[in-house]
A and B are shown apart, each in its own frame.
Chain A
Amino acid sequence: MIKGQLSSKDWELLSSYMDGELNPRDKARVEARLSTQPEFQEALDGLRRTKAILRKTPIRKVPRNFTLRAADVQPVKTPRWIPTMQWSSAAVALVAVFLFASQLVPGFRGLATTASEKAVDSEMGAPEVAQPAQSLAAVPATDQATPEVIYWGGPPAQANGLGGMGGGDGSVDCGSPGAMCGGADPKLEVGGGADNGETTQMPFPQPPIPNMLPDLQTQPTETARSAIAAEPVTGTGPILGVRPDADQGAVLPEAITPAESLAVSDESEPRSTGQLLLIAASVLLALAVGLMIAAILLKRKLLR
């Protein structure tokens, strides 16, 4: 009945009043209500009765003395691996933060991605498409600007000086059907097909084709395969593919310059690498938190 009439604040005031813990203003207010509200007085009586009973709680005698011996308070030797775990956790957390920052902070990104890409590439192996691009990147810029031309079964080849790797030495009969000739550049020693002296510099740039990767990976058609089987191979250059009859002898628009292939690899690489880095950073962060919690729990357990 009293419970319903008094608020929890009223009970708090009465409890503190009983212990003499109210300031003079609150004390005066409580006393005014005590004189006018019987339920207030009744509540106070109930609290006093309770306190009086609690005061009579028997005091238990101690079963023994709790004085300490020197052995009880020997400094606890923390095993070495606990601080090691703590420092490892901090280090892993730093690496994780760096990786996160490298992906999220724009200024940080270019710097960190280049370094991290190399690391990821060296560990995981570069994607197949990227490999030729990187190897071609070693060729001087002047040569990179020259479009690669691949001939199959057409008129005598026009080597452009770059060509495929490890081509002929200039004495190869590039006119033979079934052989592919690239240009040999003795100065650069990068190989390639034969340069029969009639080489003309092909004007660069065919407009880049947005998605040329699938074409690079396209398998030779049945027609081409049969052509390969029918025609003896006399050249020494690599066979890169067979075009349909109508296309033979034509400049291949799909030919990729080193610069283009680099661009392709640049488009596809950072995205996947970035995702890998974010995943790695998340894993590292989780590891750091785990290590720290484990170290704290173990330390607490040992010091208890």
Chain B
Amino acid sequence: MDEAELIHEAIQGDLDAFNRLVLTYQEMAFNLAFRMLNDDAAAEDATQTAFISAYRNLRSYRGGSFRAWVMRMVTNTCYDELRRRHRRPTVPLEPVNVEEEEEIENPSWLADDSPSPEDQMESKELEKAISHCIQGLPEEFRAVVVMVDVQGLDYAEVSDAMGKPLGTIKSRLARARGRLRDCLAGFRELIPSFFRLGEEVIGS
């Protein structure tokens, strides 16, 4: 059964068909939510909420990219969560890195205590740097750059997902990339191989 049939069946109320769609898009949805919220538990909740909302609103799906439509549900749920956080800010439980005098971005001390091989260290540093820089972006820039540069959606899909005109998406993406470029440049010493990789991309 292809995606169009699954969607049709799901609209008719077939929960199994919808769950097959969930399995296809849950990783993308969860990663978008995580990049937006920078918190595993919140991303998990947002993903679940987004899929429930998607099922309840399936009849509003008017064709086009289904993954863009699902991403729209996720971004809307994340915006709701971010608004809630702004209204009721909470103090994070993560320890504070005294040397850098800033909060550690990812709660790796909770998630994984196993010793990391050296080749994974740089990857973790990279993720930390990217998370740090993405979180520094305004929310609407964040969603666009994650969907295009991290998840590989095209502009039209992002326009659908965000409910914004193509011109707005282009403008936001350019500004987000400019900010990220400046931010990531500060991590050049921590992740030199990724900057080398960047040079290779340019050279190719």
Residues of B within 8 A of A16 (CB): 155, 170, 174
Residues of B within 8 A of A68 (CB): 15, 18-19, 22, 51-52, 55
Residues of B within 8 A of A45 (CB): 202
Q: Determine the distance from Cα of A158 to Cα of B149 in the docked complex, in whole angstroms.
A: 105
* Segment 41-60 of B: residues with Cβ below 8 Å from A: 44, 47-49, 51-52, 55-56
A8 at the interface (CB under 8 A from B): yes
A65 at the interface (CB under 8 A from B): yes
A48 at the interface (CB under 8 A from B): yes
B31 at the interface (CB under 8 A from A): yes
User: How far, in Å, is B37 (CB) from chain A's closest CB?
Assistant: 12
Cβ-neighbour of B47 out of A46, A52, A58, A66 (below 8 A): A66
What 0/1 readout, one digit per residue, does chain B (179-204) give for beta carbons within 8 Å of chain A?
01100100000010011011101100
B150 at the interface (CB under 8 A from A): yes
B126 at the interface (CB under 8 A from A): yes
Interface pair B150/A12, CB less than 8 Å apart: no
User: How far, in Å, is B183 (CB) from chain A's closest CB?
Assistant: 9
B175 at the interface (CB under 8 A from A): yes
Residues of B within 8 A of A57 (CB): 35, 126-127, 130, 150
Interface pair B149/A54, CB less than 8 Å apart: yes
Interface pair B198/A73, CB less than 8 Å apart: no
Interface pair B171/A46, CB less than 8 Å apart: no
User: How far, in Å, is B191 (CB) from chain A's closest CB?
Assistant: 8
Residue of A nearest to B40 (CB): A63
Interface pair A8/B19, CB less than 8 Å apart: no
* Segment 136-156 of B: residues with Cβ below 8 Å from A: 145, 148-150, 154-155
B23 at the interface (CB under 8 A from A): yes
User: How far, in Å, is A76 (CB) from chain B's closest CB?
Assistant: 8
B177 at the interface (CB under 8 A from A): yes
Cβ-neighbour of A61 out of B27, B29, B123 (below 8 A): B27
The binding surface of chain B is classed by DSSP as helix
Interface pair B170/A72, CB less than 8 Å apart: no
Cβ-neighbour of B150 out of A49, A55, A67 (below 8 A): A55
Interface pair B127/A19, CB less than 8 Å apart: no
Which of B30, B130, B148, B181 has the most C-beta atoms of chain A within 10 angstroms of its own C-beta?
B181
The binding surface of chain A is classed by DSSP as helix
Q: Determine the distance from Cα of A145 to Cα of B171 in the docked complex, in whole angstroms.
A: 82
Q: Determine the distance from Cα of A19 to Cα of B154 in the docked complex, in whole angstroms.
A: 9
Interface pair A11/B150, CB less than 8 Å apart: no
Q: Determine the distance from Cα of A274 to Cα of B67 in the docked complex, in whole angstroms.
A: 59
Interface pair B51/A66, CB less than 8 Å apart: yes
Interface pair A50/B177, CB less than 8 Å apart: yes
* Segment 14-61 of A: residues with Cβ below 8 Å from B: 14-16, 19, 21, 45-61
Interface pair A67/B22, CB less than 8 Å apart: yes
Q: A12-B170, A21-B170, A54-B180 are in contact. Are A49 and B26 (CB under 8 A)?
A: no
Cβ-neighbour of A59 out of B23, B27, B55 (below 8 A): B27
Q: A19-B148, A62-B27 are in contact. Are A11 and B201 (CB under 8 A)?
A: no
Which of B26, B174, B180, B201 has the most C-beta atoms of chain A within 10 angstroms of its own C-beta?
B174
Interface pair B202/A65, CB less than 8 Å apart: no
Interface pair A53/B174, CB less than 8 Å apart: no
Interface pair A70/B150, CB less than 8 Å apart: no
Cβ-neighbour of A53 out of B15, B126, B154 (below 8 A): B126
Residues of A within 8 A of B123 (CB): 58
Residues of A within 8 A of B195 (CB): 49, 53
Interface pair A14/B174, CB less than 8 Å apart: yes
Q: Determine the distance from Cα of A11 to Cα of B174 in the docked complex, in whole angstroms.
A: 6
Residues of A within 8 A of B202 (CB): 45, 48-49
* Segment 58-111 of A: residues with Cβ below 8 Å from B: 58-68, 70, 72-73
Residue of A nearest to B203 (CB): A45
Cβ-neighbour of A63 out of B19, B44, B49, B181 (below 8 A): B44
Which of A16, A55, A66 has the most C-beta atoms of chain B within 10 angstroms of its own C-beta?
A66
What 0/1 readout, one digit per residue, does chain B (115-128) give for beta carbons within 8 Å of chain A?
00000000100110
Cβ-neighbour of A49 out of B44, B171, B199 (below 8 A): B199
Q: Determine the distance from Cα of A296 to Cα of B44 in the docked complex, in whole angstroms.
A: 26
Q: Which 10 A-B pairs have the closest CB atoms?
A: A49-B198, A15-B174, A54-B149, A67-B19, A52-B201, A12-B174, A50-B181, A52-B198, A11-B174, A66-B26
The 17 sampled A-B contact pairs (Cβ below 8 Å) are A11-B174, A48-B202, A49-B195, A49-B201, A52-B201, A53-B184, A53-B194, A54-B145, A54-B180, A56-B197, A57-B35, A59-B27, A61-B27, A62-B47, A66-B30, A66-B51, A68-B19
Extra 12 A-B pairs, beta carbons < 8 Å, given A15-B177, A57-B150, A59-B31 = A53-B191, A56-B197, A59-B27, A60-B27, A60-B30, A63-B30, A65-B22, A66-B22, A66-B26, A66-B48, A67-B22, A68-B15
